[in-house]
Amino acid sequence: MRVLFASLIGSTIGFGLPATGEGLPMNADTWDVSDTSVAAFERVADRDALCIQGGAALVKGMETRDGVVSVDILNTGIPHFGYLVFRALDGENSEEVYLRMHKSRQLDALQYNPHMNDEPNWQLFGFAQAAADFGSADWVTLQVEFAGDKAKATAISEVGEAVLEVDDLAFDDSGTRVGLRALQRACFSNFQFSDRMPDLSEIADPVYVDDPNAITSWRLSPQSRFDAFADRVHISDEWMTAQTEPNGTLLISRFVPKASAGLFRLNEMDVIYAGAAIRSDEARTIELNFDVSDIGRVYLNGNPKVELDNTIRAKGNALFRGDFAVSTQTVFLDLEPGHNELVIGVAERTNGWGLTARIVDMTGLSIE
């Protein structure tokens, strides 16, 4: 994925959507508001607005696989998050781009975030963000153009324009609904929509390097409420098979819904165990690079080897965001000749349930 930053280039938003205008009516006849939302249609800063606290609101009767959506988000500087939702299957599964309205001019002000089984995944997409200056005007415009497997998000204020390009969307085009989402309380106005396919040919196709050392297929246990990791864990024949994304990340929420989801920091923690069988031609020590979001424990042949906490603001650093990369963690494991079981327990509250792992040297090894 590529990130660009540019200056303001005019008073209109691209692809024929006006910077100001009537937009869709902000009333209950137009919007399907999720049961988990606290929503109000009210007058805000001289505009008709939909204000949401938590959950999603999808436009009734409006569906498209490709198109352009835009909305104005109230700019208060108070911590809150305003989302544009597109290609939504429902209120719990969708492509999304959002503004961190309290982080103007910071590197993560504009963020891509696929929402899976009512859970965000931004910690697993830390590379898909951009700086944006929201200025001081009452409203900031967020626009998303989407077509095929690409999207272009633009944040526009009176002082500048920031662009985030996504070259490989997480969902296919089976979802067709559009709308809004909010974390904390966000107010929206002037929602605009076009089903005309934008030209996103300027966005290059993604380049994935095939890593033969990456573990790309895992067996996943059912989820359970997390109090502590199990003392011993072995792979079960009843565990489901799950494939990683092309970049080697396993998006756990794509396969396993959390029992406690959609409530952000109020979620309870859930845990799954992900297993892979490794065959070795002899006894040897391997170096495993890996990372988890958020808390993990590595087991080899049933026995725990290392545990780590990768939660946001962990590690004694209030600015630590729980960023995620395969090169972050390393553990050395002593394999036995023949069959070995690698299991990684992953516990998560919110913001991205994920796992990635690779074996540095695959000599004499195979993934069964």
- How many domains would you assign to the chain? 2
pLDDT average, residue stretch 35-45? 92
Residue 15 lies in a domain: yes
pLDDT exceeds 50 at position 108 = yes
Query: Does one domain contain both 238 and 335?
Result: yes
Where residue 11 falls among pLDDT bands split at 50, 70, 90? Answer: very low
Preceding omega of 118 cis (within 30 degrees of 0): no
Query: Does one domain contain both 32 and 169?
Result: yes
| 353 exposure class (CB count in 10 Å sphere: 0-12, 13-18, 19+) | buried
> What SS3 state is found at 93?
strand
Cβ proximity of 174 and 149 under 8 Å: no
Query: Does one domain contain both 286 and 146?
Result: no
Residue 200 lies in a domain: no
**pTM reported for the whole predicted model:** 0.90
Query: Does one domain contain both 190 and 222?
Result: no
Residue 334 lies in a domain: yes
Query: Does one domain contain both 156 and 225?
Result: no
pLDDT exceeds 80 at position 131 = yes
Query: Does one domain contain both 153 and 28?
Result: yes
Query: Does one domain contain both 275 and 344?
Result: yes
Where residue 322 falls among pLDDT bands split at 50, 70, 90? Answer: low
Query: Does one domain contain both 222 and 324?
Result: yes
Cβ proximity of 136 and 156 under 8 Å: no
Tens digit of each residue's pLDDT (9 = 90 or more) over 245-296: 999 999 999 999 998 877 777 789 999 999 999 999 999 999 999 999 999 9
Write out the residue range of the structural domain in which residue 332 sits.
Answer: 217-367
Residue 212 lies in a domain: no
**pLDDT score at 263:** 73
**pLDDT score at 137:** 97
**pLDDT score at 156:** 98
What is the per-residue DSSP string for 245-287?
PTTS-EEHHHHS--SS-SSGGGSPPEEEEEEEEEEESS-EEEE
DSSP letter (8 states) at residue 240: E
**pLDDT score at 89:** 96
Tens digit of each residue's pLDDT (9 = 90 or more) over 56-79: 999 999 999 999 999 999 999 899
Query: Does one domain contain both 179 and 38?
Result: yes
Residue type, 92: E
Query: Does one domain contain both 174 and 305?
Result: no
**pLDDT score at 37:** 86
Q: Single out the residue in 162, 194, 226 at which a domain terminates.
A: 194
Return the CATH number at 287: 2.60.120
Query: Does one domain contain both 14 and 86?
Result: yes
Query: Does one domain contain both 20 and 111?
Result: yes
**pLDDT score at 1:** 52
Tens digit of each residue's pLDDT (9 = 90 or more) over 192-248: 999 999 999 999 999 998 899 999 999 999 999 999 999 999 999 999 999 999 999
DSSP letter (8 states) at residue 114: -
Residue 283 lies in a domain: yes
Tens digit of each residue's pLDDT (9 = 90 or more) over 354-366: 999 999 999 999 9
Where residue 15 falls among pLDDT bands split at 50, 70, 90? Answer: very low
Return the CATH number at 67: 2.60.120.560
Where residue 317 falls among pLDDT bands split at 50, 70, 90? Answer: low
**pLDDT score at 311:** 77
**How far is Cα 315 from Cα 311, in angstroms, rounded to an integer?**
8
pLDDT average, residue stretch 309-317? 69
Q: Which of 26-40, 69-83, 117-131, 315-329 has the lowest mean pLDDT?
A: 315-329
Residue 207 lies in a domain: no
**pLDDT score at 48:** 96
pLDDT exceeds 90 at position 8 = no
Where residue 327 falls among pLDDT bands split at 50, 70, 90? Answer: confident
pLDDT exceeds 60 at position 147 = yes
**pLDDT score at 261:** 79
**How far is Cα 63 from Cα 189, in angstroms, rounded to an integer?**
20
Residue 319 lies in a domain: yes
Residue 202 lies in a domain: no
pLDDT exceeds 60 at position 21 = no
Return mean pLDDT, the chain: 91
